[in-house]
Amino acid sequence: MSTSQAPVSVALAQINATVGDLAGNARLLAEAARKAHASGARLVLAPELSLTGYPPEDLLLRPAFMAACDRTLLALAMELSDCEGLHLVVGHPSSWTEAQGPASRSFSLPRRFNSASVLAGGQVLATYHKRELPNYQVFDERRYFATGREAGQGAVVFEVQGVRFGLLICEDAWFDEPAALARAAGAQVLCVLNASPFHVEKHDEREARMAERARQTGLPLLYAHLVGGQDEVVFDGASFAVDATGVVRARAPAFEPAVWPLQVTADGLVSGELAPIPGPEEQVWRALVTGVRDYLGKNGFPGAIIGLSGGVDSALVLAVAVDALGADRVRAVMMPSPYTADISWIDARDMAERLGVRYDEIGITPMFDAFRTSLADQFTGLPEDTTEENIQARIRGTLLMALSNKTGAIVLTTGNKSEMATGYCTLYGDMAGGFAVIKDVAKTLVYRLCEWKNRQPTRRADGSLGPVIPERIITRPPSAELRPDQTDQDSLPPYEVLDAILARYMEDDEPIEAIVAAGFHAADVDKVTRLIKINEYKRRQAPIGIRITHRAFGRDWRYPITSKFRA
Ligand SMILES: Nc1ncnc2c1ncn2[C@@H]1O[C@H](COP(=O)(O)OP(=O)(O)OC[C@H]2O[C@@H]([n+]3cccc(C(=O)O)c3)[C@H](O)[C@@H]2O)[C@@H](O)[C@H]1O
Ligand SMILES: Nc1ncnc2c1ncn2[C@@H]1O[C@H](COP(=O)(O)OP(=O)(O)OP(=O)(O)O)[C@@H](O)[C@H]1O
Ligand SMILES: NC(=O)CC[C@H](N)C(=O)O
């Protein structure tokens, strides 16, 4: 770096915080800070709400939680007091005290802030309160926080080795005012603490917005981000820094914890190493792996159980689970019925062998017969229909849940986004389970992910390198195999059509007329959008799963079940 100004050594502490594990998160922060300090860093930036994990949701409403946050923050400051010259910036919630404004003024506002504190010399040197609270998509920050603006607080700027750093928290940096205030208060570098949930290609959007902010203010910008899974959201890491001209000069790796060093000067230069950003399929794959690993890890499950049908959805879930947990923590169960084709169990067994997971077969015909016999009197004179299809799915669900109860392992469900949208799944049947790995992955993307995975050199159980998903699983026509010669396309439009309509209507809120005007058949648009609307009740009973698009069937899809509105 050629500059007249001495650079400050900074580290971005990209930690995998666990919501509610205050002691564990403080330990991760202290370890990252000590590691960075030992290699020369004098400023360490941690992510938004890194002390609590993000989002802490209604834990914030409990006074005991807020008190524990205060205690843990002070203990962290004390613990690092021997690190000479170190400044650690940590995200945490803080309470609105009477000293910050009269009670009457805050009467209708939540009485806490989303804050960032500078810890140095065993003390809290300064605390900044977030000014822009996101309340769209998965965010609900208005429910919990007041803004620094409402409390009459302005910018917070602190100095390290003669360079002045201004604090911002995530959404702040997507707006003009907070950065402009920091600049006006003398900041020479912007520090942004973030919790920015992943969706495909979100990092492009982030880097573009932060580059624009840097150019607009003429200041370099340091972006510290979380990594890891929390219920339905995944944080992808890839913390970065842009110089004053908006060029990305340093980037931490995606989807793994890191303590990423960089240098920054008062005159806007930044230097560091640039980790690559994965392509779109790899991003989704790694988000799914991270989501599964952290959901099971943070909730203490010893392993996972998957109903393996010889179809593409359960094949994808199995491959993701093995990448996330290792083959010895995953088991597959094939449960053939009278309608299961030979190729289904041949391919299921082949895949389980390639991956080296425990594989069992439990035939469901005797149970299916027992149900039909027991119901025969009730069903006299009535034709076979989805009732019998659903009984098979429910027998499988019951068996998988029995294995879960007995072993403690969680059942991973295999429904994809196209199925969740259209209700092409059985309540208490294939929807039975604890975590819906691919519920935000449309069927066409399921295929692309399987093809991508097979192109990656993967070590198989026999030691050879090669594809882990048998080719026929990807090429055969999709079928629920719940009646003779059934295929998904008997009930649904082709998946290319279904998924395109789904993306326009559900993810992008396009009006039905606009979708038809874009060239889709009115009958297909009508069918898909009608199915989406009438199946809300099913989705509300589905397990949560990993969000990989900018709109998933989860926190960012809140439609009423009981509704007469049909547009
Ligand atoms: N508004 C509402 N609020 C609450 N509950 C409501 C409801 N409307 C119906 N229900 C209940 O839901 C029941 C219908 O739902 P459900 O029992 O699930 O059954 P249903 O949706 O009728 O059938 C399941 C469909 O999914 C297909 N499937 C099943 C399994 C796997 C796959 C696959 O390829 O992956 C496809 C299967 O071929 C069939 O077409 C009703 O009988 C009623 O009890
Ligand atoms: N014969 C089977 N053995 C084990 N599990 C099964 C079997 N058939 C269905 N399942 C479970 O139920 C889920 C729904 O499967 P189904 O075959 O009905 O449709 P699908 O959505 O096309 O899934 P897949 O592509 O995995 O077959 C499967 O993913 C699997 O977990
Ligand atoms: N936590 C936040 O403030 C995040 C909001 C932001 N626009 C993002 O997703 O990147």
Residue 107: CATH number of its domain: 3.60.110.10
309 labelled ligand-binding = yes
Note whether residue 567 is domain-resident.
no
Q: 11 with 41: CB under 8 angstroms?
A: yes
268 and 305 belong to one structural domain: no
- Residue-wise pLDDT for 25-74, tens only, equals 999 999 999 999 999 999 999 999 999 999 999 999 999 999 999 999 99
176 and 235 belong to one structural domain: yes
216 and 315 belong to one structural domain: no
370 and 409 belong to one structural domain: yes
196 labelled ligand-binding = yes
- Tell me which residue has tokens 């170190």: 86
Q: How many CA atoms lie within 13 A of 165 on its CB side?
A: 33
Domain count, the chain: 2
Q: Which has the closest alpha carbon to 436: 408, 405, 410, 415? A: 415
User: Which distant-in-sequence residues (6+ apart) come within 8 Å of 65 by Cβ?
Assistant: 20, 52, 56, 59
State whether the beta carbon of 481 lies less than 6 angstroms from ligand 1. Answer: no
Note whether residue 38 is domain-resident.
yes
Domain boundary among 251, 277, 303: 277
State whether the beta carbon of 307 lies less than 6 angstroms from ligand 2. Answer: yes
Integer Cα distance of 190 and 470 in angstroms: 50
Q: Cis omega (within 30 of 0) on the bond before 511?
A: no
Q: Which has the closest alpha carbon to 190: 161, 226, 216? A: 216
Residue with the smallest CA separation from ligand 2 atom 13 is: 430
How many CB atoms within 10 Å of residue 475?
A: 9
- Kindly state the DSSP code that residue 43 receives in the 8-state scheme: E
249 and 332 belong to one structural domain: no
294 and 239 belong to one structural domain: no
CA of 196 to the centre of ligand 3 (A): 5
Quick one: pLDDT band at residue 555, thresholds 50, 70, 90?
A: very high
Residues designated catalytic: 48, 130, 170
User: Which distant-in-sequence residues (6+ apart) come within 8 Å of 47 by Cβ?
Assistant: 13, 14, 15, 17, 54, 91, 193, 194, 195, 224, 225, 226, 235, 239
Note whether residue 522 is domain-resident.
no
Which ligand 2 atom is at minimum distance from the Cα of 425?
14
Quick one: pLDDT band at residue 102, thresholds 50, 70, 90?
A: low
Residue with the smallest CA separation from ligand 3 atom 9 is: 196
Which ligand 3 atom is at minimum distance from the Cα of 48?
1
Note whether residue 543 is domain-resident.
no
Q: 109 with 63: CB under 8 angstroms?
A: no
Q: Model pTM greater than 0.80?
A: yes
273 and 300 belong to one structural domain: no
Residue with the smallest CA separation from ligand 1 atom 34 is: 480
- Residue-wise pLDDT for 128-157, tens only, equals 999 999 999 999 999 999 999 999 999 999
Domain boundary among 455, 486, 517: 486
Note whether residue 252 is domain-resident.
yes
373 and 405 belong to one structural domain: yes
457 and 423 belong to one structural domain: yes
Cα 286 off chain centre by:
10
Domain boundary among 277, 302, 332: 277
Residue with the smallest CA separation from ligand 1 atom 5 is: 537
Note whether residue 558 is domain-resident.
no
- Give the range of the structural domain holding residue 447, as residue numbers without chain letter: 283-486
Note whether residue 367 is domain-resident.
yes
205 and 299 belong to one structural domain: no
Q: 221 with 192: CB under 8 angstroms?
A: yes
State whether the beta carbon of 426 lies less than 6 angstroms from ligand 2. Answer: no
CA angle 119, 124, 129 (to 5 degrees): 95
- Token duo for residue 8: 């400050």
CATH number at residue 380: 3.40.50.620
- Residue-wise pLDDT for 323-349, tens only, equals 999 999 999 999 999 999 999 999 999
- Residue-wise pLDDT for 371-396, tens only, equals 999 999 999 999 999 999 999 999 99
312 labelled ligand-binding = yes
State whether the beta carbon of 395 lies less than 6 angstroms from ligand 2. Answer: no
How many CB atoms within 10 Å of residue 565?
A: 7
* ipTM of model over 0.95: no
pLDDT number for residue 489:
79
- Token duo for residue 278: 């994965």
Note whether residue 493 is domain-resident.
no
Q: Which of 424, 439, 441 to mutate to test the pocket of ligand 1 (most atoms within 8 A of CB)?
A: 424
364 and 340 belong to one structural domain: yes
70 and 198 belong to one structural domain: yes
